Amino acid sequence: MKLLQLIFIFSIFTSCAQTTKKKSTSINTMKDIKHIPKEKQITYAIHINAKTPYEIYIDDIPLPGFGRFYESGMNATLELNPYLLRNGTHKLKIRYLPLESAKDSLLHPGDVYHNKDAKWNIFFVRFIKNSDDPLGYEGEIDYGNSELEVVPPPRSLPFWEQEFDLDIKDLPYTLDGWGKSQDLSELDREELKKDVFSFYKDLRTTLNKGDADKFIKLTEKRNQELSISTYDYDQSYFYSEEHKEDIKSKCTGNIWEINEQDYSVKVYAYGKIVSLERIGEFKNNGVIAETETNYYSYNLKLHKPIGSDTFEIIRK
């Protein structure tokens, strides 16, 4: 489908660094944030050798990807830090899906585990990034002791899920994120739907007007927390005139309408996060901008802090 071939997933980060306080980090200004020493910049990730299509979740939050759907035969390293607020036990869930060639549309046990040389592999790894190294990280990863045990389905099924408890203990930061957010699953479903659509329609207006300053302000906390969790301290582009002009050129007059026929409300993070996602074309993506040559998706997740009546953008 030509649209799928043309789409670019547009992700924005911000300029900041991490405080070294052990208490939850409250981000107000850039000057309050300090750099973390390189030797403590631990990144946790999942490395996957996929034998079938799949979806992956950390603490009930889908990891981002094109359409949030990964293909079989694709090796991928997916960083977890942006969705890890603090140290502790975190839940990883893998949903194995049927092969694209499956005539019965079912996942078979042998698709997941045929033998020790033809099976799914999932590795839970930690490393320190190093852009100067050909591999992109320092030292070596002990894959032999980091593999998670994959269990095939007992019989042919439409899909098969497996969960793992991950021990996260070396993060040098603690983030607020959605840790002190309202449980949206307790709200009236129709009222929640109304409020989410209202937020996205306002966002659509902001982008369609090319109001880059307002959009940057709306995404500021999200991007500050992302910068902390990924140790990405050089984020001056986020506030630059070049970035603002890029938003204006892609969005002004180019944003698709937000309507109930094309979108569905999704609740994640055990009720703490919500997003509005497309149902058909560009499935699972957010706000779509269409220019003469390309399509851009502005994906975001919302939360509602305890005591607040309004949503905030907290992740992508």
CA–CA separation, 34 and 104 (whole Å): 55
pLDDT at position 235, please?
A: 77
Q: How is residue 11 annotated by DSSP?
A: -
pLDDT tier, 71 (very low <50, low <70, confident <90, very high otherwise) = low
pLDDT tier, 10 (very low <50, low <70, confident <90, very high otherwise) = very low
pLDDT (mean) for 216-224:
95
pLDDT at position 17, please?
A: 29
| 27 pLDDT more than 60 | no
Task: Indicate the range of 14-28, 31-45, 244-258 predicted with least confidence.
Answer: 14-28
| 23 pLDDT more than 80 | no
CA–CA separation, 105 and 102 (whole Å): 5
**CA nearest neighbour of 24 among 174, 222, 179:** 174
CB 64 within 8 A of CB 316: yes
In single-letter form, the type of residue at position 126 comes to: R
pLDDT at position 131, please?
A: 83
pLDDT at position 137, please?
A: 85
Q: Taking the model in full, what pTM does it have?
A: 0.86
| 73 pLDDT more than 80 | no
Which residues on neighbouring strands pair with residue 176, listed in sequence order?
none
Q: How is residue 186 annotated by DSSP?
A: G
Quick count: other Cβ atoms within 10 Å of Cβ 163? 9
Which residues on neighbouring strands pair with residue 94, listed in sequence order?
56, 162
| 20 pLDDT more than 80 | no
